[in-house]
Amino acid sequence: MTDIHSYAERIVLPMDKRQLIINAAIAVLQEKGMEKTKISDIVKEAGIAQGTFYLYFPSKLSVMPAIAEVMVQNILVRLHAIDDGGSAREQLDGMVEAIFEVTEQHRDLSALIYSGITQTEHVREWEAIYDPIYKWINGRLVQFQERGEIRPSIATAYAAKLVLGLIETAAEQNYLYAASDSAVVEEHVAELKAFLVAGLGVK
């Protein structure tokens, strides 16, 4: 389990106990899967007492929203690297490429999140978990409107959710479900970029 464990350790340093549990859960869940993983496996990987686990999480599945937050942070790191001085078209292209790249790099983590969080009441937390990304995209859409680059009638807060949902769904279809080859992915990315440009009325 060395490779998976080292991946988990790279997420946040230094780690408090909550983060240690999250990283250990990622490592164990990726190795054993949701059904076979026990809390005892997670605490053993984390090197903590089982009682410590329950100070932070009431159950195995309650860790899933925290794992989803790790994925959100991975996406935000890539989004923040997009130059806000670029045109609307360039920045939208950057959003597509960023989310596709993160989904490809962390496809196992993505699959783990969706398989786990949809099994519980924590699916209701999804919107709150993704709120930082919605706000980031909304900020860029507002910027595009102020510069006269997209339709002024667009409700940017709602459009931000549509943009993220569309890009993420397309990325998941290519990397989680269909295992598309690179040529197919490139074709889908090009079509997605054109769709966003048309939908937002990019000038």
Calculate mean pLDDT across residues 21-35. 89
Give the CATH number, domain containing residue 21: 1.10.10.60
In this prediction the pTM is 0.82
* Claim to verify: residue 18 and residue 100 sit in the same structural domain: no
| SS3 (DSSP) at 45 | helix
* Claim to verify: residue 179 and residue 87 sit in the same structural domain: yes
* Claim to verify: residue 48 and residue 94 sit in the same structural domain: no
* Claim to verify: residue 16 and residue 90 sit in the same structural domain: no
* Domain range enclosing 67: 63-200
* Claim to verify: residue 40 and residue 95 sit in the same structural domain: no
* Claim to verify: residue 72 and residue 139 sit in the same structural domain: yes
* Claim to verify: residue 95 and residue 46 sit in the same structural domain: no
Tokens representing 141 are 């859409």
Q: Which of 176, 168, 173 is nearest to 107 (CA)?
A: 176
* Claim to verify: residue 54 and residue 126 sit in the same structural domain: no
How many other C-beta atoms lie within 10 A of the C-beta of residue 180?
14
Calculate mean pLDDT across residues 142-152. 97
Total domains in the chain come to: 2
Give the CATH number, domain containing residue 71: 1.10.357.10
* Claim to verify: residue 88 and residue 36 sit in the same structural domain: no
pLDDT tens, residue by residue, 55-96: 999 988 889 889 889 899 999 999 999 999 999 999 999 999
* Claim to verify: residue 49 and residue 145 sit in the same structural domain: no
Average pLDDT over the chain, rounded to whole?
Answer: 87
Residue of higher predicted confidence among 117 and 2: 117
* Claim to verify: residue 42 and residue 77 sit in the same structural domain: no
| Reduced 3-state DSSP string for 130-183 | HHHHHHHHHHHHHHHHHCCCCCCCCCHHHHHHHHHHHHHHHHHHHHHHCCCCHH
- Give percent of the chain above pLDDT 70: 87
* Claim to verify: residue 141 and residue 46 sit in the same structural domain: no
Question: Where does a domain end: 35, 58, 81?
Answer: 58
